[in-house]
């Protein structure tokens, strides 16, 4: 596969942009590869500047669900752009998207739009602190909630990839207010609550997506919610990845939990930069100008992003049966892949839910940070490179979810399964 043009662009980029990228994982460093440069995208595929085709399992890190350049969405965007790209003023689309989100999430009574998921989690943390008059935060090791100072402690995703649990530039006085529990280990939450009385909130991904997909076990989520309620701690659900991906109504709908605040992003903009945080009315009324917790953004509720989001959410609302179909396709692919792994004696384990899955090079199940971190990263590096040469683009990190869109259909499943067979056959002699 020729990538000469991408290589030339990368050489130019590293003299202009830190490491040549605008988000760390895009550098491909954990797989010792250089990035390719995308020229266009359509359906389930990316096309680079060298005209190579890639079946895309990154899907803009979860922002794409209808498929790239969906015709209906493109038409909606064109109309929106013709009406102006930014107003800095109120417009009807803000109400439309708020109604759609509130209808889908019973836990949300009021919401505020932001320009990213990071802004949403940052604002939710500030709101929780302002509402409770406490400073402490509980998060789970390996969960990544955006590059927020208070949350860059034992984070996953890019930070786990580079083996850097804490970011430079985060003041110790701020980080000391963040307490780290273990996902799927309720006793770690109990201990923190018992030992610290200054906790404003607990923030969690109900399904972990930034150490790969890790599903909650048993009553773990309900137990967390009960502990928060008993201790006067606000429960924040970070559904930036899972919201509208795993079902219409998010993971909290599947697991029947009722968070105080929910953070959203990715899909609600149909591929445009947007986020939102919302929750109980009594809490959200603390946000300025009603209350004293300040949050603002010139591009919050950007009209183009909102119109794209309204189109996407209405489509998903009107075609909810597609979630079942997407889930069935992932399960079918999972079964085929595991049979292939067994055939070639490759230690491989898959966690999957609707819209997302992760394959771990592991001899056992992966249900927490320790199990994920113990996976064979060298094997993943070989897997990534060989799959890329087969024209399949997985995330350049073991610690990310593989994202499926509505355009990942029978043809794409067959291509993926066939490539797994070829790559695992080649890897069998290397492990």
Q: Can 335 be counted among the known catalytic residues?
A: no
Which is nearest to 359 in space by CA: 342, 372, 369, 345?
Answer: 372
- Residue for token pair 């199990």: 371
Which is nearest to 134 in space by CA: 232, 279, 281, 263?
Answer: 232
Kindly give the residue spans of alpha helices, DSSP state H, lying in 176-288.
186-195, 220-231, 250-254, 281-284
Count the residues in the chain: 431
Q: Strand, coil or helix: what is 97?
A: helix
Distance CA(206)–CA(285), nearest Å, equals 25
Which is nearest to 58 in space by CA: 272, 369, 358?
Answer: 358
Catalytic residue among 144, 255, 348, 349: 144
What's the DSSP call for residue 268? G
Q: Can 342 be counted among the known catalytic residues?
A: no
Residue 95: how many CA atoms within 13 Å on its side-chain side? Answer: 4
β-bridge partners, 235: 202
Distance CA(82)–CA(79), nearest Å, equals 5
Catalytic residue among 238, 349, 369, 420: 238
Q: Which two tokens stand for residue 375?
A: 């996976």
Asked if 405 and 65 touch (Cβ cutoff 8 Å), the reply is yes
β-bridge partners, 138: 179, 202
Distance CA(124)–CA(216), nearest Å, equals 22
Q: How many C-beta atoms lie closer than 10 Å to residue 162's C-beta? A: 14
Q: Can 223 be counted among the known catalytic residues?
A: no
Asked if 84 and 307 touch (Cβ cutoff 8 Å), the reply is no
Distance CA(25)–CA(33), nearest Å, equals 11
Catalytic residues: 144, 238, 266
């Amino acid at each position: 596969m020729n990538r000469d043009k991408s290589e030339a662009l990368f050489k130019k980029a590293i003299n202009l942009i830190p490491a040549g990228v605008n988000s760390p994982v895009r550098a491909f460093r954990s797989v010792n590869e250089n990035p390719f440069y995308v020229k266009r995208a359509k359906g389930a595929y990316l096309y680079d500047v060298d005209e190579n085709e890639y079946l895309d399992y990154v899907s803009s890190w979860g922002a794409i669900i209808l498929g790239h350049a969906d015709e209906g969405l493109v038409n909606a965007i064109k109309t929106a752009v013709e009406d102006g790209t930014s107003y800095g003023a109120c417009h009807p689309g803000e109400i439309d998207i708020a109604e759609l989100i509130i209808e889908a999430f019973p836990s949300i009574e009021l919401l505020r739009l932001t320009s990213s998921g990071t802004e949403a989690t940052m604002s939710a943390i500030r709101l929780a602190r302002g509402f409770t008059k406490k400073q402490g935060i509980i998060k789970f090791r390996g969960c990544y909630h955006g590059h927020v100072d208070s949350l860059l402690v034992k984070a996953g995703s890019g930070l786990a990839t580079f083996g850097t649990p804490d970011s430079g530039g985060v003041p110790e006085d701020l980080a000391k207010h963040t307490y780290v529990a273990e996902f799927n280990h309720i006793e770690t939450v109990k201990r923190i609550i018992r030992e610290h009385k200054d906790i404003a909130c607990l923030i969690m991904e109900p399904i972990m997506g930034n150490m790969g997909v890790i599903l909650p076990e048993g009553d773990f989520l309900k137990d967390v919610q009960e502990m928060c309620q008993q201790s006067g701690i606000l429960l924040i659900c970070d559904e930036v990845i899972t919201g509208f991906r795993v079902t219409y109504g998010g993971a909290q709908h599947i697991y029947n939990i009722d968070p105080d605040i929910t953070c959203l992003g990715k899909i609600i903009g149909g591929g445009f930069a947007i986020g939102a945080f919302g929750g109980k009315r009594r809490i959200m009324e603390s946000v300025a100008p009603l209350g004293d917790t300040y949050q603002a953004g010139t591009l919050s509720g950007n009209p183009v992003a909102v119109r794209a989001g309204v189109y996407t959410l209405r489509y998903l609302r009107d075609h909810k049966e597609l979630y079942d179909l997407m889930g069935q396709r992932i399960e079918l692919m999972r079964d085929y892949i595991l049979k292939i792994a067994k055939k070639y004696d490759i230690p491989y384990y898959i966690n999957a839910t609707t819209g997302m899955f992760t394959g771990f090079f592991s001899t056992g199940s992966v249900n927490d940070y320790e199990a994920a971190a113990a996976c064979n990263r060298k094997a993943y590096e070989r897997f990534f490179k060989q799959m890329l040469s087969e024209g399949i683009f997985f995330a350049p990190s073991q610690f990310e979810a593989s994202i499926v869109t509505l355009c990942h259909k029978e043809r794409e499943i067959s291509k993926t399964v066939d490539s797994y067979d070829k790559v695992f056959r080649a890897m069998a002699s290397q492990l």
